Amino acid sequence: MFISKSLGTNKDGNLTIGGADTTVLAKTFGTPLYVFDENLIIENMRSYKESIDTYYDGRGIVFYASKAFSCKEMARIANREGLGLDVMSGGELFTAQTADFPLDRVCYHGNNKDFEEIQQAIESGVGRIVADSGEELQLIDSIAKTLNKKQKVLLRVTPGVEAHTHEFIQTGQIDSKFGVTLETGAAFDVIDKARKLENIEFAGLHSHIGSQIFDEEPFICAARLLVGFMAKVKKELGINLYELNLGGGFGIKYTKEDKPKPYRTYMQDLIAGLCRACDDFKVEKPFLMVEPGRSIVGAAGITLYTVGGVKNIPGIRKYVSVNGGMSDNPRYILYEAEYEALLAEKPYEEGTETVTIVGKHCESGDVLIKDIKMPEIERGDILAVLATGAYNYSMASNYNRVPRAAAVMVRDGVPRVIIKRESYEDIVRNDI
């Protein structure tokens, strides 16, 4: 069994994604190549949206966190599926704008938005801006004033819940560059002062507790702390906070060890926890927002490479070099992230030797997968690294002046290019 339902094999025994033969994709579009299965992306989007419809009477919205994989076609797909978009830079917003995304369904984030970005957001009519501090609230207010607008905002708070992949802890977590702390009273003070700001509509709170999380408990815990805080704000300041954004963070299956639950189950549990907290604190159920990124697009993507040199250092290690690396997937060098890989022409063949798959960059840490058991690999083989749909293209670079790879979306077996491969001309375009 493969780790993602997007993957399969065809009559020639070749690996397929979304029904398309990966060897044909590699031949047609070249490598390295990002390939996405649109059906799985849509299925994931729907499971979030339908959870809110089913378990919360549709009183909420799902923002696709575009940082996971931002491009015009992803904005169009999110739009068709009725999702909103989470953006956190002028560039991500511009992508949404150029894809004609309805901007009232955009939520604008960031711990350090500059003046021009806030202006761009308000001018273009984004539905919500998540303010990161009291100072930024004032800046948003003053820019909205000059534009003669009233801007809906949420305040990012750190609820004191920190989640990691396999555990979570309730901590002060005061030491964060994001948001305003609940427990020191800082968030309360910001909201108190925000009452004077005439050009903002202060709608509610936002929190994001981490990423690649498998346990729903920290989300429920954060929701409870936030609802408790909403009750305090209502009681002591008479302010009704009526929107709550619980961020993103649900995990995906990178390797066989990862065991995410269906996203519907996470959402059902999270919503149940939220409703319990609202009952306990006697708070009206807020309009709910979530911002999944990785869990929408991560498992739906793979990267195809062509194998180059294979170098065996007896007794030490066997290196398999591919024609990409940290420029298209920096997640090993950043986080020692783990991946699985398959050979496109023999995906079912048992691994017989342990190899380390490395890129072509001038850096020893340029590793894609350390110590993976693979069948015999030769120069010219097409290698698929799995579950690369999130935070790969979006964190890609031109290190060593390597052009960024193309991205292809497959729908029912039919591929289409959604991002062109960069050329050497693109590489020198801004050089003077």
In the region spanning residues 308 to 367, those forming contacts with ligand LLP, defined by CB under 6 A, are: 331
In the region spanning residues 52 to 71, those forming contacts with ligand LLP, defined by CB under 6 A, are: 65, 67-68
- d(C-alpha 49, C-alpha 83), whole Å: 7
Question: Which residue's CB is nearer to ligand LLP, number 133 or number 142?
Answer: 133
Check if the beta carbon of residue 33 is closer than 8 Å to that of residue 408: yes
Q: Residue from 247, 324, 389, 415 that binds ligand LLP (CB under 6 A)?
A: 247
Spell out the residues 6+ positions from residue 80 whose beta carbon is closer than 8 angstroms to its own.
Answer: none
Interaction of residue 241 with ligand LLP, rule CB under 6 A = no
Question: Which residue's CB is nearer to ligand LLP, number 65 or number 106?
Answer: 65
Question: Which residue's CB is nearer to ligand LLP, number 110 or number 273?
Answer: 110
Counting residues that bind ligand LLP (by CB under 6 A) gives 19
Interaction of residue 21 with ligand LLP, rule CB under 6 A = no
Q: How far is the CB of 19 from ligand LLP (least distance, A)?
A: 26
Q: Tell me the Ramachandran region of residue 251: left when phi exceeds 0, alpha when psi lies from -120 to 50, beta otherwise.
A: beta
Question: Which residue's CB is nearer to ligand LLP, number 29 or number 266?
Answer: 266
Q: How far is the CB of 124 from ligand LLP (least distance, A)?
A: 20
Q: Residue from 49, 105, 109, 128 that binds ligand LLP (CB under 6 A)?
A: 109
Q: How far is the CB of 285 from ligand LLP (least distance, A)?
A: 21
- d(C-alpha 350, C-alpha 279), whole Å: 54
- Tokens coding 163: 């989640």
Q: How far is the CB of 343 from ligand LLP (least distance, A)?
A: 25
Catalytic residue selected from 71, 107, 278, 362:
362
Q: Residue from 208, 224, 253, 285 that binds ligand LLP (CB under 6 A)?
A: 208
Question: Which residue's CB is nearer to ligand LLP, number 134 or number 293?
Answer: 293
Q: How far is the CB of 5 from ligand LLP (least distance, A)?
A: 19
Interaction of residue 291 with ligand LLP, rule CB under 6 A = yes
Interaction of residue 303 with ligand LLP, rule CB under 6 A = no
Question: Which residue's CB is nearer to ligand LLP, number 145 or number 152?
Answer: 152
Interaction of residue 292 with ligand LLP, rule CB under 6 A = yes
Q: Decide if 221 is catalytic.
A: no
Q: Residue from 18, 32, 204, 249 that binds ligand LLP (CB under 6 A)?
A: 249
What is the contact mask toward ligand LLP in residues 388 to 407, using x (rule: CB under 6 A)?
--xx----------------
Question: Which residue's CB is nearer to ligand LLP, number 291 or number 366?
Answer: 291
Q: Residue from 159, 248, 301, 389 that binds ligand LLP (CB under 6 A)?
A: 248
Question: Which stretches of the chain bind ligand LLP, using CB under 6 A?
Answer: 65, 67-68, 86, 109, 208, 211-212, 247-249, 291-295, 331, 390-391
Residues labelled catalytic: 362
